């Protein structure tokens, strides 16, 4: 039996990885871009879900410009905060499960140790606050909903830290933040988990432990600087000098949590899944990039 997924989002790195991995998972994905459905339009979202024959709804779209959210807060909250609530409302009406993707940015980064799902959320940026609003909207309105938080997504597709670093390869030196640490996560790994788990979510009733908050991140803690070093080590050849800097000195528009590490113990306890080390996933992604470029 082929599982049918209605996905909001078609061009982001995670959305594209889900589409790419779907055939191997015996799933079909109807991916809706914002041009096809304006997720800030409640009626349009309700109509899309009311008329779907999908078994599950996945929200993989977001206002992802962390710094831009500071000056465009209305747009960020409309897409990240209000739209997921529309999806939850429609899914509750249809009795469909909803999987919503969230972020480590809902935390303030001040905890000494990895964040678990039950830790208090204290976002320190407009982006983080908008994503937390989306979490609340989903969990309050849909009894069969899972909010999957992830961190530091990278992929061969789309714009992300891996692509940014490789784009700076010809520079003599590059400043990289050394005091932010977290767990880099391959978008492809998260996509495969979502697809593999979809049949359980489709069958699970309200109250099942499969619902609620969930963390998914590749194993191993590192810094942005540590990830950059790994990228250039794996790439080989000439590389820029990596100059450590601080979050404060970088002077970005939006504050970032210096500790973005997510604990994935619940992921293992409920689903029996332990994500592989981030470096192993990074090596695989970069090997694929080399093959594609050849």
pLDDT for 1 equals: 74
3-state secondary structure of 219: strand
How remote is the C-alpha of 38 from its chain's centroid? 20
Concerning whether 115 is annotated as a catalytic residue, the answer is no
Q: pLDDT tens across 238-252, in order? A: 899 999 999 999 889
Mean pLDDT of 257-280: 98
Q: Active site residue: 77, 86, 127, 201, which one?
A: 127
pLDDT at 117 over 90: yes
Sign of the torsion angle spanned by Cα atoms 226, 63, 213, 55: negative
Beta strand ranges found along the chain (DSSP E): 3-8, 27-32, 56-59, 98-103, 145-150, 153-154, 173-177, 181-182, 185-186, 212-215, 222-223, 241-245
Q: Taking all residues of the chain, what is their mean pLDDT, rounded to a whole number?
A: 96
Mean pLDDT of 111-134: 98
**Cα–Cα distance, 33 to 272 (Å, whole number):** 32
- Quote the percentage of the chain above a pLDDT of 90: 95
The b-or-e profile of 39-64 (16+ CB within 10 A means b, else e) is bbebebbbebbeebebbbbbbbbbbb
3-state secondary structure of 258: coil
| Element spanning 276, H or E | none
3-state secondary structure of 259: strand
Mean pLDDT of 255-282: 97
pLDDT for 191 equals: 98
**Domains in the chain, ordered, with CATH?**
3-155+184-220+259-276 (3.40.50.720)
Residue 158 is classified by DSSP as S
**Cα–Cα distance, 281 to 17 (Å, whole number):** 14
Phi, psi of 130 (to 5 degrees): -65, -40
How far CA 55 is from CA of 6, 81, 240, 271, 284, in Å, comes to 8, 24, 48, 20, 31
> Where do runs of H (alpha helix) occur along 22-142?
42-50, 68-71, 73-76, 83-94, 126-141
pLDDT at 294 over 80: no
For residue 291, name the pLDDT band (cuts at 50, 70, 90): confident
pTM of the predicted model over 0.95: yes
């Amino acid at each position: 039996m082929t599982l049918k997924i209605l996905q909001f989002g078609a061009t982001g790195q995670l959305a594209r990885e889900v589409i790419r991995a779907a055939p191997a998972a015996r799933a079909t994905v109807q991916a809706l871009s914002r041009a096809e459905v304006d997720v800030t339009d409640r009626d349009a979202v309700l109509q899309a879900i009311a008329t779907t024959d999908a078994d599950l709804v996945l929200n993989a779209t977001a206002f992802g410009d962390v710094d831009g959210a500071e000056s465009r807060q209305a747009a960020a909250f409309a897409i990240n905060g209000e739209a997921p609530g529309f999806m939850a409302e429609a899914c509750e009406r249809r009795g469909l499960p909803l999987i919503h993707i969230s972020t480590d940015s809902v935390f303030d980064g001040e905890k000494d140790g990895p964040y678990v799902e039950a830790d208090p959320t204290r976002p320190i940026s407009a982006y983080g606050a908008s994503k937390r609003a989306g979490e609340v909207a989903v969990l309050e309105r849909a009894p069969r909903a899972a909010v999957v938080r992830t961190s530091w997504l990278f992929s061969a597709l789309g714009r992300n830290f891996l692509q940014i670093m490789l784009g700076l390869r010809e520079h003599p030196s590059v400043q990289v933040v050394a005091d932010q640490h977290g767990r880099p996560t391959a978008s492809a790994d998260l996509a495969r988990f979502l697809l593999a788990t979809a049949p359980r979510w489709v069958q699970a009733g309200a109250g099942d432990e499969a619902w609620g908050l969930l963390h998914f991140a590749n194993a191993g803690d590192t810094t942005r600087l540590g990830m950059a070093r790994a990228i250039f080590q794996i790439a080989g050849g000439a590389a820029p000098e990596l100059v450590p800097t601080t979050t404060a000195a970088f002077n970005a528009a939006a504050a970032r949590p210096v500790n973005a590490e997510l604990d994935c113990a619940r992921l293992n306890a409920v689903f029996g899944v332990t994500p592989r080390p981030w470096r192993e996933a990074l090596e695989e992604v970069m090997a694929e990039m080399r093959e594609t470029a050849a």
